[in-house]
Amino acid sequence: MTSPPITTANSQGARSPAGWRTPVGGAALALAGVGLVLLRDPHREGALGICPSLLLTGGYCPGCGSLRGVHDLATGQLGEAVGHNLLLVPALVWLVWWWVVQVGATTGRRLAGPPSSARFCWLLVAGLAVFTIARNLPGSPLAP
Amino acid sequence: MSDQYPPNPQDPYDPNVGGQPGYGSGYGQGGYPGAPSYGQQPNGPKPDNNLVWGILATVLCCLPFGIVSIVKASKVDGLWNSGQFAAAQQAAADAKKWAIISAVVGLTVSVGYIILAVLVGVSGA
């Protein structure tokens, strides 16, 4: 058995560029998204184009209102954000939690991640279905 | 500093020069295509189920493809735990793929709409 000289310090190196790519890239994309939303206020219809789901179906999908919600959060209006999309804040909590775990992994800390079991996935799908139906009912307070 | 010496590219007898680097030989590892996947060895650690992409696509984009992504993500753990390692990795890859499809379709339609709106001169909708 000869040991080939290819298995270099690649596997567990804290602070390898590949390890930082996810947390840094994620943060950069998130900031770019917030910047875009602040630049072109999505409350103005058509400011950021049009949603293909809304265009095709005429109904609100579970993501509808989240861009307006992000704009509201960036300008400090939590209540408005919840009004546009009830799921936005919980989703952002999940995503920030996930991001913190990624940062922990790159710096050699193993942190408990956000829920992602099969059971959670199915609850999520069921919840999204109920939410979608509920927000499309006439006069629904969950509408974006 | 590592103590490994660089392989001499002039040495025709060095097994590490030319061709594939020696990964400790591929013999006996899942041979011909279409081989049954029963009893295979896990090829690496359990894959992340990539649920993060599904959540991003569903809440921040829209489109039903985000839901497909979450459904794919839900299958990863079960497949892995029942020994279907390749299928688990495929499900994780599919979860990512459908979220990316969702994002690409959403962005394409949005950007296309903006370009169209600028060209036609329509403001708003």
Query: A11-43 pLDDT, tens per residue?
Result: 444 444 458 888 999 999 999 999 999 999 999
Q: Domain spans of chain B?
A: 51-120
Which chain B residues are Cβ-neighbours of A4 within 8 angstroms? Answer: 16, 21-24
What average pLDDT does this structure show over A83-97?
94
Q: Complex ipTM, two decimals?
A: 0.73
Q: Assess B102–A contact: CB distance below 8 Å, yes or no.
A: no
Q: How confident is the model at residue A115 (pLDDT cuts 50, 70, 90)?
A: very high
The alpha-carbon gap from B31 to the nearest alpha carbon of chain A, in Å, equals: 22
**Spatial distance between the Cα atoms of A85 and A22, rounded to a whole number of angstroms:** 27
**Spatial distance between the Cα atoms of B41 and B28, rounded to a whole number of angstroms:** 11
A5 and B7 within 8 Å at the Cβ level: the answer is yes
Q: Does residue B20 surpass a pLDDT of 80? A: no
What average pLDDT does this structure show over B81-110?
89
Pairs from A71-75 (Cβ < 8 Å, separation ≥ 24): A71/A37, A71/A38, A71/A41, A71/A42, A71/A43, A74/A34, A74/A37, A74/A38, A75/A38
Number of residues assigned to chain A = 144
**Spatial distance between the Cα atoms of A81 and A37, rounded to a whole number of angstroms:** 13
Q: Domain spans of chain A?
A: 30-136
Q: Which range, of A1-10, A58-67, B11-20, B92-101, averages the lowest pLDDT?
A: A1-10
Tokens of B19: 């061709």
Q: Does residue B13 surpass a pLDDT of 80? A: no
What average pLDDT does this structure show over B40-57?
81
pLDDT at B122: 54
From its phi and psi, is residue A143 left (phi > 0), alpha (psi between -120 and 50) or beta? beta
B114 and A48 within 8 Å at the Cβ level: the answer is yes
**Spatial distance between the Cα atoms of A88 and A94, rounded to a whole number of angstroms:** 10
- Residue B47's nearest CA partner among B92, B79, B86 is B92
CB pairs < 8 Å spanning A and B: 108
Q: How confident is the model at residue B64 (pLDDT cuts 50, 70, 90)?
A: confident
B109 and A52 within 8 Å at the Cβ level: the answer is yes
Q: How confident is the model at residue B65 (pLDDT cuts 50, 70, 90)?
A: confident
A63 and B62 within 8 Å at the Cβ level: the answer is yes
Largest CA distance in chain A: 73
Which chain A residues are Cβ-neighbours of B73 within 8 angstroms? Answer: 116, 121
Q: Does residue A141 surpass a pLDDT of 50? A: yes
Q: How confident is the model at residue B62 (pLDDT cuts 50, 70, 90)?
A: low
Q: Does residue B76 surpass a pLDDT of 50? A: yes
Q: Go through A99-120 and write b for each residue having 16 or more CB atoms within 10 A of its CB, e for each that does not.
A: bebbbebbeeeeeebbebebeb
Q: What is the pTM of this model?
A: 0.72
Of A52, A55, A88, the CB nearest to B59: A88
